[in-house]
Structure 1
């Protein structure tokens, strides 16, 4: 770049010219000096203006960023700032779980972990002996070997009680240290254990530990429960704690009385699908969750949830679906006479009834008296394709999308080749297996007016408006038939008649499959699917007993009418007042005694 042209202060040509004209040559120098100063001034002004412009742009950008951030904060929801515990990134918070009335089912308890710095122990042998005396499952020799391994840090306990903490403190060892953290607490012990599931410690630091759900709703809603943005908002379930406790108490007594290997029950709202109670026995205390079985039959573990993991043949409870489809499709009416002459032979197999009901029964009596032959005749009219489609629309051929991770394991089992023989046996609940939860949902659909209901553990704002499966007229007929099963002397569930409460339902007794093949001759799965109040059911209750057996008048009884039915009746008698259902058409004094005994 060339140098700018400079103006000489005293140019010789102009000076000579000025002298000839008689002018002062010094004026030329002053003029040139003035021009030079003006050029320098203009250059400096331009430079200053550029710098001011750049500074103005920077200030504008900074204030704009501040203004934008303030507007975002002003329009967003207020939230408490999250603070890490002692600099740890571990999320140690976990929301409570409460029942439909806000009663606590699971919460957190502030406690301490116990760890050791072996290099800081004054007397490692005494410390090992002292810890072994405090904690029964610790061995002093094993601890001493660990202390002498050269490690500078080791965990002793993820959580300890205040009493244990004081005993450890009294040992006086500076190398035994405590780390604060929260642990999961289930204040009701084993009540609703299978629903809640349980939790364990995940990632741990000295001053914090994350809590992870391992089963039940704790695992299903793990992300939501650990979300810091919940701001302490608990997870509200549809369960009722008092009803759950009553159901478990009656079920445990019934299991003992009926000499059953296991028992389970599902109580749900027939309109909203809300599960009010879900129980499985034997159970466990989630505060001390046992380890899963590593071998053998998993159903023998107390961790096994019979209500949603147990896939069983549910026997004659399926007859309701066969009758419902035949009525809905106009193949019969409730008074149509059906041939029940037995045995009914099909593809080399004989279908028989438990009793001889004579040559003909009405459709109404086929269900009330539980005729296998009559139900199979109805299934012949329906056919395999239509039967499979109907059961599929009821949700009986797929796992239920339920609020527990275990529900995914409860996948129904049915024949891959759904032929005529399968159609007939499936009509009365043999050759097809499902869970109690499937059965409860299907019965709710049958009696609530005919719209499909999906079970849920979350509170609902109102009735579910699912797909219509049957008409309201068909649903009304089914309610009358279920009521007759309990009310009539010929019904298979007359032991479920409760003073003041109209109960309807259907029994089912299915031979238990033998793992070696075939079925046991003296072991059954006994089920009673009940609805109440029968004229306009609000609730569905399904009770199942595994291998029940009771002696009546010197004779061994295993069928549902003698085992599951009386247990379910006692459950209804206990929980109906808790659900706000007052006894009807009963002496006031008797009603008061019934209500008082249920408290």
Structure 2
């Protein structure tokens, strides 16, 4: 019998045992790692909940990525309230180097597939030759730029460009003006302040315009032009104390982005360039002058019972009263005869000197390059007949802005200030020149209110705003220097509130046609006064002026009476007898 022996391990058994040992080792290492991890987490939990309780940690906020403002070379323009009127936007311009283009016809054909306004037949010849630079398109949208870039045409490149945009479109076009394709100012504010807009790119140019008032004025003026089938019109709203122009409209107009291509009639600014006979709106100045110089008083009067014949000129009244009229009646009823006699009491030298002080013989100093010189007789030609006709706004031609500026001086206490289209931030009014006494100014305010309540300006009255004003109607002058029978300028210059004026509103309609509902009339009272009423009742709330009831204080400030009929104060003056004939403006300027 053989003795018992232990079994000998085979090679396969040894390998299996080694694998088991390796697995056990890995399990032990893994368990140890997980154990350490759990211990770390447990320690962190203890630290946060027990050891660091009540001690919040300040974590720095994430840094926002702010896009860089696109660089432009021209400052923006805003209205007085910061509303954007003009701005420059960066764009891309497309150009080509013909030397680098192998097949001009093919390049032109490809470009026309993404830029549809291009004509390949016209573009291809421009891409030929030995030139190194040819503009293809000045302003591309990002989508168009990407499309051109995808074409991969050698010799076609992009250049940084800038485009001037006007968010308000036509609203303030005659003030803003415009720029050419190279960004140079060519009209209006863009031209007048070209250097400033280039030098101070980061600071917007702030104008005195209120775009809300601008829109209202343009809409009302447009409706009046359409209703009376006129060829155009103009309007301005001005602060009587500062000379700031809050609105300036000339119709027809155009889109500001098309300044270089707009027709001449649309680019013509009737407010600062157009010169017209102001008609009876000039009686504000004539009456103020006579009262201020003391040649008449409110209780004075003149014979207006029959026309004045002076040489070959005849001065008459439209729908006259044909009797003696007091000064308030002359103003309220707009008597040419009474006004002419009243100004003759002042005399020719003092009359001309007064109008010169008001700027009626020179350009206004507003910050616009487009201004006109009034048409007035020279010192040697200014005679007695000129004084008589200019007294009621004939024989002299001025811009609507001249009338509005002078009216502001007549009602603000007597201070003439240069009009401006720049916003003024000062608490006190800018300096000016005294042209009439404060007492005279107060009287003119009362007379202007009287014209709206009892005279030709009734159509402009707005309850609670105590509007004062003066209508004007003047025949237009033809090429031969004579007045045109059926062509007139109808206007209204108003103030509100009359007891403490804040704003002047001037409207002018060019060649209005009589309508059936106006009984065949197209005068200032029928045409311009109602348009002014619409403007005032809409812009009053926008400008913070609330309608108010008539108090004793207001009634006292505007109190004035129309005296009854009285006999002439003196025998009527006799004038040189000659053949009677209609007044000719050419004759008035050269008489």
CA shift at 1:359, angstroms? 1.9
Match of 2:495 among 514, 527, 531: 531
Post-superposition Cα deviations, 1:458-508, rounded to whole Å, max 9, x if no partner, equal 2221313311111111111100000011111xx111011112211111111
Name the structure 2 match of 1:200. Answer: 180
Say whether 1:396 aligns with 2:360: yes
How many pairs are equivalent?
477
Distance 2:458 2:116 in 1: 53
Q: In structure 1, the residue corresponding to 2:530 is in which secondary structure?
A: helix
Q: In structure 2, the residue corresponding to 1:252 is in which secondary structure?
A: helix
Q: In structure 2, the residue corresponding to 1:256 is in which secondary structure?
A: helix
Name the structure 2 match of 1:258. Answer: 228
Say whether 1:505 aligns with 2:485: no
Q: In structure 1, the residue corresponding to 2:524 is in which secondary structure?
A: coil
> After the TM superposition, which of the residue ranges 119-128 and 491-500 deviates more from structure 2?
119-128
Structure 1: stretches of 5+ with no match in the other structure: 1-84, 86-90, 203-210, 587-599
Match of 1:105 among 85, 91, 104: 85
Q: In structure 2, the residue corresponding to 1:484 is in which secondary structure?
A: helix
Match of 2:185 among 210, 213, 224: 213
Q: In structure 1, the residue corresponding to 2:341 is in which secondary structure?
A: helix
Alignment of 1:91-130 (within 5 A): 93-130=73-110
* Cα 1:240/1:553, change in 2 over 3 Å: closer
Match of 1:442 among 400, 406, 409: 406
Post-superposition Cα deviations, 1:383-420, rounded to whole Å, max 9, x if no partner, equal 1111100001111110011111112xx11101120001
Q: In structure 1, the residue corresponding to 2:180 is in which secondary structure?
A: strand
Name the structure 1 match of 2:126. Answer: 146
Structure 2: stretches of 5+ with no match in the other structure: 1-69, 551-591
Distance 2:87 2:531 in 1: 32
Distance 2:320 2:259 in 1: 50
Match of 2:451 among 478, 481, 485: 485
Structural RMSD (CA): 1.9
Match of 2:194 among 202, 214, 222: 222
CA shift at 1:175, angstroms? 2.5
CA shift at 1:138, angstroms? 4.1
> After the TM superposition, which of the residue ranges 252-261 and 424-433 deviates more from structure 2?
252-261
Post-superposition Cα deviations, 1:232-253, rounded to whole Å, max 9, x if no partner, equal 1111111112111221122222
Distance 1:494 1:333 in 2: 25
Name the structure 2 match of 1:241. Answer: 211
Larger RCO: Structure 1 or Structure 2 (Cα < 8 Å, ≥ 6 residues apart)? Answer: 2
CA shift at 1:513, angstroms? 1.1
Match of 2:435 among 457, 469, 484: 469
Match of 1:413 among 356, 369, 375: 375
Distance 1:585 1:577 in 2: 15
Match of 1:160 among 120, 140, 159: 140
CA shift at 1:137, angstroms? 5.7
Post-superposition Cα deviations, 1:509-554, rounded to whole Å, max 9, x if no partner, equal 1101112431211111111011010111100011111111241348
Name the structure 1 match of 2:565. Answer: none
Normalised TM-score (structure 2)? 0.78
CA shift at 1:291, angstroms? 2.4
Name the structure 1 match of 2:167. Answer: 187
Distance 1:390 1:95 in 2: 41
Name the structure 1 match of 2:511. Answer: 547
Post-superposition Cα deviations, 1:80-122, rounded to whole Å, max 9, x if no partner, equal xxxxx9xxxxx96111111111111111101111111223335
Match of 2:252 among 271, 282, 307: 282
Distance 1:513 1:132 in 2: 53
CA shift at 1:583, angstroms? 1.2
Name the structure 2 match of 1:341. Answer: 305
CA shift at 1:168, angstroms? 3.0
Alignment of 1:379-394 (within 5 A): 379-394=343-358
Say if 2:73 and 2:201, in contact at 8 Å, map to a contact too. no
CA shift at 1:431, angstroms? 0.5
Distance 2:328 2:280 in 1: 15
* Cα 1:538/1:213, change in 2 over 3 Å: same
Q: In structure 1, the residue corresponding to 2:367 is in which secondary structure?
A: coil
Post-superposition Cα deviations, 1:36-90, rounded to whole Å, max 9, x if no partner, equal xxxxxxxxxxxxxxxxxxxxxxxxxxxxxxxxxxxxxxxxxxxxxxxxx9xxxxx
Q: In structure 2, the residue corresponding to 1:347 is in which secondary structure?
A: strand
Distance 2:309 2:111 in 1: 72
Say if 1:548 and 1:558, in contact at 8 Å, map to a contact too. yes
CA shift at 1:263, angstroms? 1.2
Distance 1:249 1:134 in 2: 40
